[in-house]
Amino acid sequence: QVQLVESGGGLVQAGGSLRLSCAASGRTFSRNAMGWFRQAPGKEREFVAASTWSGSITYYADSVKGRFTISRDNAKNTVYLQMNSLKPEDTAIYYCAVPEGIGISRRVYEYDYWGQGTQVTVSS
């Protein structure tokens, strides 16, 4: 019942930056966390970043710490992922997701609603 739409993906050279956006609509819910995940061909979907509703707690995968930043604008029902110093290994489809409950999680199975994904390709 919650719809999530990602945008902002594209082709970028190694060392470059992209900002992904995820707009939420549909079901009204309160104080939910939001997360970003990614999936490369032949690999399992993996955690990237997550934020509580207020942004007071954030989690990052070790592989992106210091390079990626999650933020959100609750008035716009939108979450962002700023990606800097991109590497070829960051190439993947990126998904935003929301759990049914209010807790924050790094685990794929804890999330109930998913966007369609946006492709990020980093060339060397």
> What does the pLDDT look like over 36-79, one tens digit per residue?
999 999 999 999 999 998 889 999 999 999 999 999 888 888 99
Question: What value does the CA radius of gyration of the chain take, rounded to a whole number of Å?
Answer: 13
Alpha carbon distance 106, 83 (integer Å): 18
Residue 42 tokens read as 């032949």
| CA pair distance 11, 28, nearest whole angstrom | 34
pLDDT value of position 26: 77
The length of the chain is 124
Beta bridge partners of 71: 80
Closest CA to 96 of 48, 58, 40, 64: 48
* Confidence at residue 53, expressed as pLDDT on a 0 to 100 scale: 86
Percent of the chain with pLDDT over 90: 78
Is the pLDDT at 27 greater than 80? The verdict is no
More reliable by pLDDT, 27 or 121:
121
Residue 31 pLDDT: 79
pLDDT at 7: 97
pLDDT at 29: 57
Q: What pLDDT does 30 receive?
A: 61
